[in-house]
Amino acid sequence: MKHTFAMLATGLLLAATAQAQTKLTVPPLSPATHIRQDFSTSFIDLTYSRPSLRGREAFGKLVPNGTVWRTGANTVTKVRFGEEVKIGGQAVPAGTYALLAIPDAREWTFILNRDTAQWGTYAYKPDLDVLRVKAKPTKLAAPQETMSLTVENLRPASADLVVTWDRTQVALPITADPDRIVVTQIEQAMKGEKKPYLTAVQYYYNAGKDLTPALGWLSEYIAANPARYDGYYWRGKLLQKQGNNKDAIMAANKSLELLSDQKNPIVKAEYTRLNQAVLAAAGGKK
């Protein structure tokens, strides 16, 4: 009995000593990171921990080939899509997924899994997979010490999710359909009271769409804002793109005329420059 009490007392003493110790803050071996990248009409959000080589070899050794990997360290890597995307031709609804991978020397398999709370891949359940997609790795000339997961080759409707570590880099192509989303937004907004005329016009111009609806919106905008120089500037820009240089010159000159009353010197200088560019492209005087 005395022995039992002695052990209990010793255990309590050790516990009290441990609680009394100062908590230290030390550099993590695999620091966590969070990346939010604007993409299409929303974003791609990445949360993961970054392991380092520290004298080791990554793939085939530290990360065995042919086994499911957390695509990082600690808890599984998580990827969140702000809108529906396509990966490998397969539709992926907006939401958060565990991003897993099966590395191999010749071909990787990327996996999106619904279980975002798993630590590592010890409790990985294949029945929760949303998709599996193959990708070809490339060999780097020099090793990268710390693993990175980045969004590269950004375009309005496509991007690559790129894993780089040691001498290996592999990209997972992602596509979206922003045009469908934006056109739907414009159609709905034009039914309301506060119509986004200039934003819609700029989108149609930059996206290379049919400019006929955009010119109609500009006519409405100019009718409601006859003293605004920006409406005439955009009218000239669109008409010049359509090849209607005569009317484009008239619109740009009207914009310059209205700019004479502009009090802000920065705005005045910028729109003067922009209208002169339209005039030069349309064959008018600068």
Confidence of residue 285 (pLDDT cuts 50, 70, 90): low
Using CA atoms, how far apart are residues 280 and 267, in angstroms rounded to an integer?
Answer: 20
Tokens at 283, concatenated: 């064959």
Among all chains, which residue has been given the structure tokens 């290379």?
208
Residue-wise pLDDT for 67-76, tens only, equals 999 999 999 9
Cα–Cα distance, 166 to 95 (Å, whole number): 30
Contact 238, 197 (CB under 8 A): no
Q: In a 10 Å sphere around its CB, with 0-12 CB exposed, 13-18 middle and 19+ buried, how is residue 209 labelled?
A: middle
Radius of gyration, CA atoms only, the chain? 29
pLDDT at 18: 53
- Residue ranges and CATH numbers for the domains of the chain are 32-175 (no CATH), 178-282 (1.25.40.10)
- pLDDT on residue 19: 60
CB 36, CB 45: distance < 8 Å = yes
The alpha helices in the chain, defined as continuous H runs, are 2-20, 178-189, 197-206, 212-224, 229-242, 245-259, 265-282
pLDDT at 14 over 50: no
Name 188's Cβ contacts closer than 8 Å, sequence gap at least 6: none
Maximum Cα interatomic distance, the chain, rounded to a whole number of Å: 107
Distance CA 149, CA 100 (A): 12
Q: Are 90 and 133 in contact (CB under 8 A)?
A: yes
40-55: pLDDT as tens digits: 999 999 999 999 999 9
Q: What share of the chain is helix, strand, coil (3-state, %, to 5)?
A: 35, 35, 30
Which tens digit of pLDDT belongs to each residue from 128-175?
A: 999 999 999 999 999 999 999 999 999 999 999 999 999 999 999 999
Is it the case that residue 4 has pLDDT exceeding 60? no
Q: Is the pLDDT of residue 125 over 60?
A: yes
